[in-house]
Amino acid sequence: MYTRFVEPGRLALITYGPCAGKMCTIVDIVDQKRVVVDGPQSVTGVGRHMMPVRRLSLTDFSAKLARGAREKSLKTALEREEILKKWSATAWAKKLAAKEVRSKMTDFDRFKLMTVKKARAKSARGALKKAKK
């Protein structure tokens, strides 16, 4: 059954536009296709603005929030329920963080990673060879 509803307080990931990859919270519903989202700016870097629902990926997390809540009450609700802390513990968030780390690697970082992987594969082959004997 579908449980990720578009509702005030729902945590969402912005998938397109200038804020792509950032987390936001739905604050108000404008119509069938548009919502008002807010970061808040001090926490996630997303200011309050209107956005189409199709540019959002809804998460499982939702804060108790009144429709059209102010930034201060949004911030306290997120902190009280530790929504962003719960989000960062999910596999989805960890995967996004790992993707960001990989994209920011330098050429030397990629080289170091390659040598470590080669060494690990060599030791695994050696252990497998010993186990076969």
- Tens digits of residue pLDDT in 10-33: 999 999 999 999 999 999 999 999
2 — pLDDT class (breaks 50, 70, 90): confident
Mean pLDDT calculated for residue range 53-61 = 96
CA distance 92 to 72: 27
What percentage of the chain reaches a pLDDT higher than 90?
95
CA distance 2 to 82: 23
Residue 39: CB partners within 8 Å, gap ≥ 6? 22, 23, 24, 25, 45, 46, 47, 48
CA distance 63 to 4: 13
User: Would you say 64 and 9 are in contact if contact means Cβ atoms under 8 Å apart?
Assistant: yes
Mean pLDDT calculated for residue range 29-38 = 96
113 — pLDDT class (breaks 50, 70, 90): very high
Q: What is the pLDDT of residue 133?
A: 77
> Residue 127: CA atoms inside 13 Å, Cβ hemisphere, count?
6
Amino acid identity of 112?
A: K
Say yes or no to pLDDT of 128 above 90: yes
Mean pLDDT calculated for residue range 62-70 = 94
Q: What is the pLDDT of residue 1?
A: 85
The pTM of the full predicted model, rounded to 2 decimals, is 0.83
User: Would you say 14 and 54 are in contact if contact means Cβ atoms under 8 Å apart?
Assistant: no
Tell me the pLDDT of the chain averaged across its residues: 95
